[in-house]
A and B are shown apart, each in its own frame.
Chain A
Amino acid sequence: MKRFAGVVLVLAVLLLLPGRGFSQAPGTFTYIEQQIITASDPAAAVDESSLIAAINLYDPLLYPNVEKGSMEPRPHVAESWTLSPDGKVYTFKIRRGIKFHSGRDLTADDVVFSMDRALRMKKGFSWVWTPVLEPGRVRAVDPYTVRFELKDAYAPFLGSLLLFFILDKDLVMRNIRPGPYGEFGDYGVAFLERADAGSGPYRMERFDRATEMVMARFDGYWRGWKPNQLSRVSFKTVTEEATVKTLLLSGQADMVNQWLTVQGFRELRQAPGIVVKEDPSVQLFHLQMNTKKPPLDNLKVRQAIVAAFDYDTAIQQIFEGATKARGPVPVRVPGWNPKLPAMSRNTAKARQLLAESGVPAGALSIEYAYVVTLPLERQIGLLLKNNLEALGFKVEIRGEPWARIVELATRAETTPHITAIFDTLKYPHVDSHTYGMYHPSCWGTFRCMSFYENPKVTQVLEAARRATKPEEQTRLYQEAQAMIVADAPSIYVANPLHRIAFRDYVKGYRYVGLLGFDVAFYDFTISR
C-alpha cells in the first residue's frame, strides 16, 4: 500500500512540474480560429478558415491592393493584363520565376488547369465564374500568357480573380485517384487533404483537420523574405471563447480570430500586452423584409417599418460601435452610393405612412426570425418589436438554427416576414451586394429573403454587369442602389466593426475587407 502511494506521489510531482510539452514551440506563431478548416483544397474554400489556409499556401492570380488599404485587384501571379473593347476577352501576362513548393515553375498551363478544375468541380467560389465561363474558355497562348474568353462582359470578373488560386498541375495530376471527374479522377481532392500544391509563402507541414494546420516558410517564395517575418505558423482550431481568450492572455497564442463576442473583445482590450484592432467592415447587417408576404407586400408598410426602427439604439447599445448602414452596399466598398442617406427613427413619418398604406390594424401581424445562436440578433428583434408595437403591429420573435433559415429562404411562402441577416462581401465588387441580393436570379438563397422584384432595377443591374467602362459601371450600380433603397426591401441597420485581437509585438496587420485576406501571415512581423 505504502509502495503504491509512493508511486502515485512521484507521478503527481512529475505531472505537476511545469513542462514545455504544452507551451508554444519557440519561433512558432500561433493563430487561433474558432471554426475548423473545412477545405484545404482552395477550389472548395468558402469560409474564413479555409480561405486563410488558401491565401497562405497558394497564390491567387490577382491580389487586393493591401498596401493602399484597398480591395481593388493589383498584379500578383499575373503581372499585367489587357481587356478587349467588348469587355469579353482578358489576356494576362504571367510573372516569370514563380516556383511551386515542388520546385517547378508556375506557367500558363497551371492557370488553365486550375480554372478548368474549379469549373468542373463546381465547389467553392466557382459560382462566381459559371455565368461567363466554362471549361475550354481559358487558354494558354504561350507559357506565360493566358486568355480568358468570357461569354459576356462581366463587371465583377477582375475582382473575382482574387479568389482564384493556382495549383501545381503536374503534382495534382500525379496524385489523382478514381473519382467523379472522368479522366481527372478525383482531381486530387484526397491528395490535397494531406499536402498542398501551391506556390504561396508557406507550405503545409502538418494538417489535423479538427485541431491544427502547421505551416512552414517556403524559402523559394518569389516575393522574397525580410527579417522578422514569421517562419513557422501553427493555425489552431479552438471553438470555445473562454479558452480562446485564455490562450491569448497567457501568451500561448499570438492572434485570435474575429468571431469573439463584443464583450470578449472588451475584456481583451483591458488586458496589458493585447491589441484589439477595430475597422469598419464590409459586412452588412440588415433585416430583410419578404416583399411577397402581406402586409409587407405593401410598399408603404415597409417604408413605415424602415422609419419606425431605432437605428441609434441598435448601433450604440447593441453593436457597441458600428457604422450606420447607408443602403445595401457597405460604405467601405468601392462603388457604394454616397448620396444615400443614413436612416434615423421618425415615428411621426412611420404613422403617416402606415395610415396611407390602407392596411387595417388587425392585419399588422408579422414574424421576425433570427439565427438562434446569435444573441445580438435577438436583441435587435426585441428592439424592433418594441418600435413596431408602438405603431400597432404584433411582432412574434422566433429563433431558428442557421440550417433552418437556409431552408426557409428557398421559397417566398416559407420565408418569414422579417429575417435578420449578416451578409459579408462575397467578392470584391459592388455587384456582390446589388446584383447578388436584388436580381431575381438569386431568389431561394438567404441573401434574397426579400424576394425583391423591380423590372427597372433588374434592367439596370444587368446593364451594369455588361458595362465595359468602370465609370459607367459605377454610375449604373449607384443608380440601382438608390432605386432599391426607395423600394425598402430591408431595414439597413449597420456595417458592423471588424475586430481582431493580437499580442502587441505582432506588427503588420491590416484589414482590407476581403474574408481571410487580413490574416496573410506573410505580412506579419514580430517586434519585441
Chain B
Amino acid sequence: MSFGTYLLRRLLHIIPALVGLSILIFLLSRVVPGDPARLALGPDATAEQVEQLRREMGLDRPLVEQYVRYVGGLFRGDFGFSLRTRRNVAQDIREFLPATVELTTVAMVIAVAVGMPLGVLAAVHKDRTADHISRLLALGGVALPRFWVAILLQLLFAYYLGILPTIGRGPAPPVRITGLFLVDSLLALNIPAFLVALKHLILPAVALSLGSLAQIARLVRANMIEEMRRDYALAARSYGLPERVIIFKYVLKNAFSSALTVIGLSYGFLLGNAFLVETVFAWPGLAFYGVDSLLFKDLNAVVGVTIVVGVAFAVVNLLVDVAYGYLDPRIRYES
C-alpha cells in the first residue's frame, strides 16, 4: 500500500468516528437533568420567559430535527448560541482554544524533553541511583494530583519567590494572528512579549506535563531495556561501536516508537482535561470553558467543545499513525 493510500484510509476512518461522537454527545447533553433555559435565565425567571427562550433555542422541536439543524449549522461554521456567554459558540471556541492548545503543546514539549532523557538515563543505569531517582520522579508525576502540584508551584514561585506570575496568560501581543501568544509575539519579533508569555506558561505547563512526563519516562525505560538486550545491540557492541552511538542512534529510535502512541493520546487527553490546571491558574482555556458549560448545561457549548476536542484528538492520532507509517513501513503493509 502506498503512503498516500494509507493516509487516505486513515482519514476516512475519522469521519464515522466524528459522526458517532456528535450523535452521542448531542443526545447525552439533552438527557442530562436540568432545564438549560431556566438555568440560563436564572431561577427567578417566569414560565413565560423560559418558554420564550426554549422556542428561541429550538428546544421545543423533536430531537432528530434539533440534531439535523445543529449539524447543518456546523457546516456553516455556526455552533449555535451559548446560554452562558450569550454569543455564538464558534466565537467562544476561537477565543478559548488557542490558550489550551498553547498550554498543552508546551506541556507536551516539557514532557518529552524531560521524560525521554529520564527514561534513557534510568535504562542505562538500571537498578542504580539514577534509575531509583527516575522511578521516584515518575511515581510522583503519576500519583500527585495535578491541581495540588499546581497550587504548590504557585505558592513557591509566585508567592514566596515572586519570580513567576500567579495567574493568566499575561497581556496579549498587540497583533492577534494565531491566538497563541508565543507564536504571535515571535511573528511580531516582540521578544519582551514572548518572554512575558513564556513566564506565564511555565508553571501551568509544568503542572500539566507531570503525568505524561512520568508515563513517557517509564515507557522509554522499559522499551530501552528490552531493545538493549536484542541481537542488533549486541552485534553493535561486538563491533566496538561506542555505547553513546548504540543508545542514541539505534536503540532509542526503536524504543521511542511506542512512546509516540502515548504522546499522541496524552496530547488529545490534555486538550480536554486541562481543567484543573486551568482553574488554578485562571487560564482562559477551552477545558475550563467546557466544564463551566457542562455545569450550567449550556448545551451548544458542551457539544461544540466535545466536537472540537474530538477533532483535535482524531487529528493528533492521525499524525501519530502517519509518523508510525513513515518510521516503520511494515505497519502500512500490515494495514
Residues of A within 8 A of B (CB): 14-19, 21-22, 36, 38-39, 41, 44, 46-47, 122-123, 125-127, 130, 180, 189-190, 193, 208-212, 236-240, 242-243, 246-247, 249-250, 252, 401-404, 406-407, 410, 426, 436, 444-447
Contact = CB atoms under 8 A, between A and B. Distances in A.
Given A126-B49, A242-B151, A426-B44, A250 B166 contact: yes
A246 B199 contact: no
Contact of A249 (B147, B159, B279, B292): B159
Contact of B84 (A38, A236, A237, A246): A38
B72 interface: no
12 contacts: A15-B195, A123-B41, A236-B168, A239-B279, A242-B151, A242-B280, A243-B281, A246-B154, A403-B39, A406-B34, A410-B35, A445-B43
Contacts of A404: 33-34
A249 B296 CA distance: 31
B2 to A, nearest CB: 38
Nearest to A436: B44
B282 A445 contact: no
A15 B164 CA distance: 8
Contacts of B155: 246
B284 A39 contact: no
Nearest to A44: B86
Given A18-B163, A208-B284, A406-B35, A190 B41 contact: no
B60 to A, nearest CB: 15
Given A36-B292, A403-B295, A406-B38, A444 B166 contact: no
A246 B35 contact: no
B44 A127 contact: yes
A21 B33 contact: no
B300 to A, nearest CB: 15
B267 interface: no
Nearest to A20: B196
Contacts of B159: 246, 249-250
| Count class of interface residues, chain B | 35 or more
A243 B154 contact: yes
Nearest to A131: B46
Interface of B: 32-35, 38-39, 41-49, 52, 56, 84-87, 95-96, 147, 151, 154-155, 158-159, 162-171, 192, 195-196, 198-200, 202, 279-282, 284, 288-289, 292, 295-297
Contacts of B39: 403, 406
B33 to A, nearest CB: 5
Contacts of A209: 85, 95
B33 A403 contact: yes
Contacts of A130: 46, 48
Given A15-B199, A403-B297, A445 B96 contact: no
A445 B166 contact: no
Given A22-B170, A240-B279, 20 more contacts: A19-B195, A21-B170, A21-B195, A21-B199, A22-B168, A122-B48, A123-B49, A130-B48, A180-B56, A193-B87, A210-B284, A242-B154, A243-B167, A247-B167, A250-B158, A250-B162, A401-B295, A404-B33, A406-B39, A445-B43
Contacts of A247: 166-167
B85 A15 contact: no
Contact of B199 (A22, A38, A238, A252): A22
A234 to B, nearest CB: 11
